[in-house]
Amino acid sequence: MNRPFVYLIGAGPGDPGLITVRGRECLERCDVVLYDYLANHRLLEYAPPHAELIYAGKVGGAHNREQGQINDLIVAKANEGKVVARLKGGDPFVFGRGGEECEALVAAGIPFEIVPGVTAGIGVAAYAGIPLTHRDVTTSVAFVTGHEHPDKATSEIDWEKLSLGSGTVVFYMGVKNLPQITANLMAHGRKPETPVALVRWGTRPEQEVLTGTLADISAKARKVSFKPPAITIVGEVVRLRDSFRWFDNRPLSGKGILVTRSADQAGEFAALLREKGGTVHECPTIRIVPPDDSSQLDGAIALLPGFDWLILTSVNAVRHFFLRLASCGLDSRAIGRCRVAAVGPKTAAALQSYGITPDLVPADYKAEGVVAAFRNMEMTGKKILYPRADRARELIPAELTALGAEVVAPVAYCNVLPDAIPAEILEALENKRIHCATFTASSTVRNLAELAGENRLLHLLEGVVIAAIGPITAASCRELGLEVHLEPETYTLEAMTQAIIHHFTS
C-alpha cells in the first residue's frame, strides 16, 4: 500500500489565479480532492484525471457534510493509502476550520502539510480597491468572524476594543448578522458615519460591492437583498475605493459571456474575456476527435514529398496533421520542398511551434481567401494536400480543382456533438445572466441548436447579443433565425473580444 498523506490547501478567495504555486503542485499529485463551496471549481482541473473529486461544501448553514464527517472522510481516504488534497476556500487556518482537521489527522497518525492560501479578508479587499492599512488612515487591522459558534453562551468578540480607535475591522461570514454587528460597533463607540463595504463573491468576475456607513449599511443590504458569501470591511480606508477601484469597473464587468468553443480550445478566448471583467460561461458545443479511420491521411503523408502545397485552415488541422505525422514516425522535416499555406494568424502561429513559417497566409481568413490567393498562381498540375475537418465545406477542393490542381483532402479530425448542454448553462440562460453568446464557427451554432432544439434556442437567446467571428458563421446564425449583432472585420478572437467590449461600453 502507498504511504498516506494529506495536503490542506488554501484555494484563495475565488480567483483561481490566486492559488499558490505550491498549492497547484500538491493538487497535481493527489488521488482524492475534497473541495469546499468557496473553492473555485476551475482549480479541480489541476487534479490528475484519475483523482476522485468529493464535494464537501457548506452554504449558509446547509451542510453537505458536517465537519466531523469531513474529518472522518479525510482520514478514511488517507488510510486507503491515498494522497488526499483538502481544498479549502481562502486559507485553511483563517476561519477555515483547518485546525480541527489537523487534530483529526494527528489523532490518526497521518502525516500532512499545510499549504497557506490568500485569505478572503486580504484578497477580497484588494480586488475591491480597499487597502486594509494606509499610513495616513490607519496602521492596524483586525479579522473577526461574523458568525460565532451557536452554542456559545456569550460572545468572545471584544466589541469595545474593536470599536475604539481607527483600525480597520474585517468580518467574515457576517451578512446574516450585519444588524447586530453594526449595532454593537456603534454602541461601543464607533461613529455612525464610519464607512462600510460589503463585498460579495470577491475576486470573481461576478464580484458585487455595496458601500454605506455603520448607520445605514444594514438597511441598504436589506433593500437590495444582499446575500452571502460576503466580507464586511469597516473603517476609513473604505473611502479610498473610489480612487483605487480597478477590478469591478473593467469594460465587461457584470456581463455574462457564453463561449461555445470546444473544451480544449475555450481557454484562450475565455482568458481574453475574463481579463476584461467578463463572467465566462463555457458551453462546449464541439468535441474534436480523430477520425475512426486515418488511413487516407496516412497514405497522403507517405506521399508527402510529391505534393506542391500543404493547406492548413485551422489550429485543429495543424494539431491533428502533426499528430498523424508523428504516429507515422515522421516530423516537420517530412514536409520537405512542399510549400505551406496557413489560414489566419493563429494557424500560422501553431505552425511556427513546429518550426515552420508558412509560405502563404491569405489576407482573408476564410476558404474564399485561400482560393483568391491561389488564383494568382499557375495551378495546372499542382498537387495539393488539404487535411480537413469532416464537416468542412467543399469550396477549397472544388475551386482549386477547377484551377487545374489535383487536390487530396483526407479527414484529419472530426467535430463530434457533446451529449447535452450543461445544466448550469441552461439555468444561466433561463435567468438572463448571459448577455452575449459567441460563435467562432458554423458548427458551434448548428450544434447548439441541435442540442437545445431550434425553437428553444431562439427562446434562450432572446435579448442576448449574438457575436459571430466571420461571415460564414454569421450566415449560419441567420439561417437559424438569430439576429447577428457583432461581426468583427478581422476574424480573430482578439477582434471578437474588442467588438464585444465596444458594444457594451459605447
What are the grid coordinates assigned to 52, written together?
Answer: 476522485
According to DSSP, the β-strands at 168-172 and 230-234 are: antiparallel
According to DSSP, the β-strands at 195-200 and 388-389 are: unpaired
* Half-sphere exposure in the Cβ direction for 279 (13 Å, CA): 20
Options 31, 82, 91, 173, the catalytic residue: 173
Partners of residue 418 on adjacent β-strands: none
How far from each other are the two terminal CA atoms of the chain, in whole angstroms? 62
What are the grid coordinates assigned to 176, written together?
Answer: 446574516
Options 58, 176, 220, 383, the catalytic residue: 58
Q: Which residue in this structure is represented by grid cell 499610513?
A: 135
Q: Which residue in this structure is represented by grid cell 480597491?
A: 129
What are the grid coordinates assigned to 361, written together?
Answer: 497566409
Specify whether 379 is catalytic.
no
Q: Report how far residue 22's alpha carbon sits from residue 18's, in angstroms, rounded to the nearest whole number.
A: 11
Cβ atoms of residues 409 and 317 within 8 Å: no
Q: Report how far residue 77's alpha carbon sits from residue 84's, in angstroms, rounded to the nearest whole number.
A: 7
Q: Is the peptide bond before 229 cis (omega within 30 degrees of 0)?
A: yes
Specify whether 58 is catalytic.
yes
The single-letter code of the amino acid at 395 is L
Q: At what angle do helices 345-352 and 315-327 cross, to 10 degrees?
A: 30
Options 36, 77, 88, 91, the catalytic residue: 36
Dihedral sign of CA atoms 240, 241, 243, 246 in order: positive
What are the grid coordinates assigned to 36, written together?
Answer: 469546499
Specify whether 496 is catalytic.
no
Any idea which residues carry the catalytic annotation? 36, 58, 173
